[in-house]
């Protein structure tokens, strides 16, 4: 769509409606996006829908819980997390996998920073399909697959979208690490080949608790192994609410020695031992 004329620019702007729409305090009573029992609406700090080719970002306080819900079941959400109080620190996917001895992340998994600290914890998960191996599709591959690429096209890449999201928080493209893909899984065969487990699975959601103050960025983009010729990812809903962090009473803290160290490293930062 051309934006060279006033009419064209207006039509392009209006065509974006629904790609990313804020819907604060309008949560439905049904579906995976509904708030857990006992959470008052007044505690909702973020509520946004993100369609295919869209992105979103938000700063969350320690203890907050972020629910990412996929009602239609065909989404792939690329997730990147930064420490909001020490912004050079960010998600380290390689350490998240190897420190926990597990490439298939699920309930209880901790998202580790490059400083070995717990950034977020998976505290609920009805999807059970997430990918920490494949990263995101490059612009050349996207161009070959969809015929177009670019932030203002119908098929933007993760990096193109998150570059814009990052700028809103004072980050640049060099601050973007590899992220984790939610709702689609890459299965590793015995010979090392990767297979996509991505058939639609409606009404699924994942809840992530912030273990430090964090900046969360997401892009709703097809999985790199999704070779369908159409740019396909269903709309997701992001809903965050304020909550008290359990601290030393957190049951996930002692679930493994490796996770306990990650929480203790986060405690060290909070106590002022910022090393």
What are the structure tokens assigned to 236, written together? 């997701």
- Half-sphere exposure of residue 196, counting CA atoms within 13 Å on the CB side? 18
**pLDDT, the chain, mean:** 91
How much is the pLDDT for 273? 60
Each residue's pLDDT tens digit, 179-236: 999 999 999 999 999 999 999 999 999 999 999 999 999 999 999 999 999 999 999 9
Tell me the β-bridge partners of 74. Answer: none
Q: Among 11-15, 136-140, 152-156, whose mean pLDDT is lowest?
A: 11-15
How many Cβ atoms are within 10 Å of 226's Cβ, its own excluded?
19
pLDDT surpasses 80 at 141: yes
- The alpha carbons of the chain give a radius of gyration, in whole angstroms, of 18
How much is the pLDDT for 7? 86
pLDDT band at 171, cuts 50/70/90?
very high
> CA 192, CA 275: separation in Å to the nearest integer?
38
| Chain centre to alpha carbon of residue 95 | 17
Tell me the β-bridge partners of 214. Answer: 60, 83
Tell me the β-bridge partners of 130. Answer: 182
Domain boundaries, the chain: 49-270
Strands (E), 199-249: 204-210, 214-220, 236-241
How many Cβ atoms are within 10 Å of 117's Cβ, its own excluded?
25
pTM of the model: 0.89
How much is the pLDDT for 39? 83
């Amino acid at each position: 769509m051309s934006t060279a004329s006033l009419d064209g620019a207006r039509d392009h702007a209006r065509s974006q409606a629904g790609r990313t729409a804020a819907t604060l305090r309008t949560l439905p009573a049904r579906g995976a996006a509904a708030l857990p029992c006992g959470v008052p609406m007044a505690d909702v700090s973020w509520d946004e829908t993100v369609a295919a080719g869209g992105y979103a970002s938000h700063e969350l306080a320690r203890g907050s819980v972020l629910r990412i819900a996929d009602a239609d079941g065909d989404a792939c959400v690329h997730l990147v997390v930064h420490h909001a109080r020490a912004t050079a620190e960010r998600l380290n996917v390689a350490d998240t996998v190897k420190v926990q001895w597990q490439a298939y992340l699920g309930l209880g998994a901790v998202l580790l920073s490059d400083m070995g600290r717990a950034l977020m914890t998976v505290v609920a998960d009805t999807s059970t399909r997430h990918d920490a191996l494949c990263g995101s599709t490059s612009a050349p591959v996207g161009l070959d697959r969809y015929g177009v690429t670019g932030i203002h096209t119908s098929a933007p890449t993760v990096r193109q979208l998150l570059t814009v999201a990052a700028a809103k928080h004072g980050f640049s493209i060099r601050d973007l690490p590899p992220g984790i893909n939610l709702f689609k899984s890459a299965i590793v065969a015995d010979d090392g080949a990767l297979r996509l487990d991505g058939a639609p699975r409606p009404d699924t959601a994942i809840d992530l608790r912030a273990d430090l103050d964090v900046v969360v960025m997401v892009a709703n983009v097809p999985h790199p192994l999704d070779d369908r010729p159409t740019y396909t990812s269903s709309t997701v809903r992001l809903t965050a609410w304020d909550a008290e962090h359990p601290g030393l009473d957190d049951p996930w803290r002692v679930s493994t020695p490796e996770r306990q160290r990650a929480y203790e490293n986060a405690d060290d930062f909070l106590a002022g031992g910022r090393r």
